[in-house]
Structure 1
Amino acid sequence: MQQKVDERRSFLHIRALMATTTEGLIAIGPDGDVRVFNETAEEMLGLHRSQVAGKLYTSLKQPKVEAAIERLLRPKSRKDPHAIRLQLGERVIAATVAPYACSGRRAAVVTLRDDTALEAYRKRAEAILASTGDGLVVFDPDDIVTYVNPAATSLAGLKPAKLLGKRTPLWQMLAMKAEDAFSPGADGSQVREVHIEAPEHRIMDVRTDPVLDDQGGYLGYVATLHDVTAEREIGQMKNEFVSTVSHELRTPLTSIKGYIDLILDGEAGEINEIQREFLSIVKQNSDRLVELINDMLDISRIESGRIHLKIQPLDMCDLIAGAVDTFQAVSEQSGHKLIPKAPAGLPKAAGDRDRVGQVLMNFISNAIKYSPEGGSVTVKARQDGEFVTVDITDQGIGISKEDQAQLFTKFYRVDSSLTREIGGTGLGLSICKSIIELLGGKVGVKSAAGKGSTFWFSLPVAPKHLVRTPGVEGPSMGGGTVLVVDRDPEIANLVETYLLKQGYDVVQAHNAEEALALAIEVHPRVITLDVMLGDGDGFDLLQKLKDTPETTNIPVLVLSIVCDEGRSCRLGAADYLEKPIDKNRLTTIIDDLVGSVAAPVVLVVDDDRNIVDLLCRNLKTKGFSVAGAYDGAEAMAAIRKKHPDLILLDLQMPVMDGYQVIEKVKTDPATKDIPIVVMTAHQIDRSRIDILGLAQQKLDKPFSPEELARRVEALLESMEDEL
């Protein structure tokens, strides 16, 4: 009797819920009879209450719902709710069958929700996502794929049936290496370029974005795959075109500009004033042409990520003094006054000397151009926290706020009668901004119309490892022998003329075989190398020079029309100078190389060539000398030859793995003091943990270039302190 009373109370409770819900509600008793059937359920299922009340649940005429009820009412069945989708004519009904305790027995409650509008919205959304050209893949927090659109399956050669509902991490889906894997989470977005080989080679920009609920809870992430193959191919074609055109222009310009300089310097005998005037016009216009070519190449390199930066400590006082001296004659001729202001004790900045000089010269040149006759241009350096800032202030026409917002955009020029009169390409400021930002600094302008302008840039203060190994001042007049390697005898003669005036002895070679033999025989202080040699690739010669014990320590300055600074750097070139040759830069670099103190050498060892190239490039820009090896055997050969200051070592490698390298290095008295940083994305082999203990640090992949540089610098400093 009490059981009947309890059951009645339970179903009275359900009836009370009926008054507060807009959903269909059906209650099934422990014996399978229909106890509750509200009006919404009547309307949705097209049944009157009298047709089902008190009857078995089979009277609902919905096989899917009936099967779910039958399973729930079994005594030992699972109690999980069942979600069912019903298509009733044009209506879509979402039904949920859930257990309900009734006097110790199991009953069932069926809720019905009209999802017709929601289903129509879902279909529209899916149609939109299916029509987009970008691939979309949705993951839950456990990397289970919940949605994949047709574009993603096409781009990556995927089959939805093999992905949906299965745990498939993005890196695995795109056949990436585990160490290159994305680490999606609630913290933010990630973007990476990924190369896919199947079903065909494609380059994709892959972006992951977290999906959060209203309270910030992590629900998973969305991966967007954007095919950039065509864009990269077009970009490559453009870069090749720019490189080819610049090559064809630079070759004759190198001779024209070089020999005009020699004539103007009196090397061919005295010239009269009219000849000097005419030659000066030719020189001025050849300089303008070189500047235009350089701007085109700089933009191309910046866009393609191929610009090479040699980070070193910079004395901004010296740079400013040099720039002011360069413009002194021009400013006096135009009636301008240049005022340098650089306080004593200013810390050195970290940057590329040539590139920072390029920025400084551009800003000063613009300040002179846009200042009225008789006006002054002030160049001031100051420390601003962890940065060194340079301000170039003019007394010109000023720049409106509207123009300031676009001033550093490519090809943008302020529209005024003065700017139209002066001319220009509109590339200079854009290039300056890109260079300073690549060096970790900032650039900007402060101005108001009619009140002059202050252009400024800031660079980080040089870290300790740069400041402690500065290049000593080279001799004012050179000393020693320089080997000039160039297939073009005219250009070789030009370089020889420049160097002879600086007091160097010069020998020439015009092919790789002759160059290598002379390098071994003469053992010059410096080698200048044109990589476009007639009998072979100059890069092969550079590799041989660095692999030959007699020549491995001779600094090589690459002089070339071909822009491949990164490759030169990886093969061990000390510096890089493009043609047409600036004689002042040439002699300055050679003086520095003759008298320089070497930067710390870091050996990067990994079987993934892309990782070696990337780390070498990043460490080079931080001021380290670098070398690379692709397996343990190559690493041991490089260690014996170069005796690096630090080794970055991957553990999983062919031929000889990282554990064997550590053991060999640490048991050899000649190399046991070289610090080793282990780089790995894998679990450590516990059976060999005692060997790993000989390494100084462990660096887990993936890691950022900044983190790598910090760790290397800190370890080298700690080793120096111990000494």
Structure 2
Amino acid sequence: MNDSIQTIKNNEARMRAIVETILDGIITTSELGIIETVNPAVLRMFGYSKEALINQSAILLISNKYRVEYAGYLQSYRDTGVKKITGAGTLELEGQRKDGSIFPIELIVTDMVIDGVKVFTCVVRDVSQRIEADRQRKDMENRTKVIVETVADGIITISQVGLMETVNPAVTRMFGYTEAEMVGQNVKMLMPNPYKEEHDGYLKHHRETGEKKVIGIGREVQGQRQDGTIFPIDLAVNEMVMGGVKMFAGVVRDISERVEAENRRKDVESRNKAILNTVVDGIITIDKVGIIETVNPATLNIFGYTKMEMVGQNIKMLMPNPYKDEHDGYLKHHNETGEKRVIGIGREVEGQRKDGSIFPLELAVNEMIINGKKHFTGIVRDITERKQADKLKEEFISTVSHELRTPLTSIRGSIGLLTGGLAGEFSDKAKQLLGIAHNNTERLLMLINDILDLSKIESGQMDFNFEEIEVLPFLKEAIESNHGYAEQHGVEFILECNIKSSKLLADSNRLMQVMNNLMSNAAKFAPKGDKIKISATRHHQQIRISVTDHGPGIPKALEGRIFDKFTQADSSDTRQVGGTGLGLNISKAMVEKHNGRISFVTELGVGSTFYFDIPELVTNQTPQALSAMNKHTAQRILICEDEPDIGSLLRLMLAQSGFDSDIATTAQAAKELLLKNHYVAMTLDIMLPDKDGVTLYKELRENSVTKNVPIIFVSAKADITKNTPEGISFNGSVKWINKPIDEEHLIRAVEAVIVKFNTQATKRILHVEDDADIRNLVKMLLDDSFEITQTATLQAARIALTREDYDLVLLDIGLPDGSGLDLIENIRKLPCAPQIMIFSADDIKISQSRIVAEALVKSKTTNDELIATIKKLVGS
């Protein structure tokens, strides 16, 4: 008996231990659902103490959502004894913890009778982790499905015997089949031979041996589309086991574009290689310390070495002195500072062949970065033959000059004597023949002279004798020398020159040749009775000389090439005017030799103005005639006018007074040009097609870029508009001109607003100086009336010039990264180039002083002299 009792106690202890350690919650309730016992798992699961649960309704542990359902289930079970829980007696619902949080549970309810009383046992399982795992699994399946359906690569699963089981949309797009046409079919349908014939044998071999001859990543093979086309693919195949069954997954990528690009790259490489091997120029690559890395065959031909003798050697082996001695220093300096003293196009130097002979060559060097490392490419051209040809050309010019001009002069002189009556009277027919001979002799001489002049200019043999010339007497002489030509064509040259005692530093003979060309062209194309105006104006430290006719104008198609060789406004065989077509080309070259510029404005049916600008020679100042930078500083005006005739008239008037101009026919076009270019002033019509001029003016004044542009209103309503309440108050930066336009009034108004603007605006100075004390001194001397930007290096100065416009560059020569003179070329290329003033401790050579507006030596210049010179140059 005792053993039985002990056994019972042991079983009870065992069951109690199981109940208290099991992870599932176990609850017993009365028939009415009142909690009688709970195990520790229930307490952990719901967050209550045992005391808080005993004698409470079990509904306390169920969320509101399921309490009615649970109560109904218990009542039905008590009444009928039928268990309505779906599945194997499991009810899925939601539990509610003491803190109110809801979580998913599974509930199993059974009944039992203890001491004749029916009670319920509830087993509760927290299924949060399982549901979360299911959710994550479904999310992963959905993500995988989306990825598979959207990737560009095709994904195919096939059975052990090669039947396709799934395909993604990329496969159908790639091969041209539908999914239904592919699933269940052998994957061989996507293969051309020999892959199709080999496939079954491969699968059989793999099943029997396990050897993987194909499985791997990125094997390039071929696929075959439904239409039979064969294309390159990248194929990766791997095994997988699903449900204990071995399968294969294939990833297919169409690499047609990649293969085509690779073929194009190879073609380019082949072409480049062929070019490098056939060009007559030598091409050499070197590393950053000058070691030769590659050479093409032309290099070997030029220098006489073999490839083995050159590659790996220093490039100096191809140089005679002084280039050889200077090379290492140049490379070191370049690698340390980045300064390029040699790199460029077409620099003439000398090379040295293997046999020691020295020859002239043209060298172009440029940097390149390969794999992050600096290299240099040099293109070398042997110019020995060109030098010899130049010499022969010089000799030819000399010979032609003598051998052609001399007999033609004799012929012309003889014909002149005959027509002058030296040999007596001739018949009318003989006179006609002599006239033809005379005209054609003159024409031939003109052609020969032009060709010889052009050859001399191109070869640098034309001499220029620069001297001071007075502008007014020079123009009077030009009119006098062309008087006969004017009479011949029935026109008249009239002079308009309001400037007095102005001088140029020029070759009067060469400049007269330019005048003769411009005036003869005007006379040839002007209508009979035309008064051709010859004018001179002072403009931005330059003298502009203009020739204006009222002829037919120049067609748009010819405007861009009017200064080219053998170009004429009327190039037909039936043209009524003579000429070689070289005059304007020669004139352009001669003006540029004076460091000036030549241009024109024209309008069909209105006329043309040809003009050239040459820097004025100012007394007690460095001659401006040789200032190469001044030819870039012409003042430009924007004409906003929708009437083409009025716009052309304004342009011609402004050109004669020294201004260049652009025409905008709408307000929008004017705003775009103002943001793109620099203009010293703007003429503005009130009536515009897209916006009235007053509204445009107000918009311009609100824009920080255009707010200071001087405005001249040119309108038939000028007097009315400026006095209306909505109009614009009269001030120094706004002028009003009535239509019809009075030219003198217009020019005075333009000059007045520009002067007003220039005197009011703060002058901007770029000071390039590496000495900090000098920079501070200049900054103190130039008070707040100047806006100063200071830099200590060439590189910083170049950056500053790209960001801001300046009125003056105050330039030192000796800078840490090179000579200040190297900056002048950068300044010349600016659309609105500033004045240049050298202020250096070095003595200034004459050749250097002539390329700038002023040159002062630090040790020889007082503070007052420095400030006075700066103010003079910027007009302050």
Q: So what's the TM-score if we normalise by structure 2?
A: 0.37
Q: So what's the TM-score if we normalise by structure 1?
A: 0.43
Larger of the two Rg values belongs to structure: 2
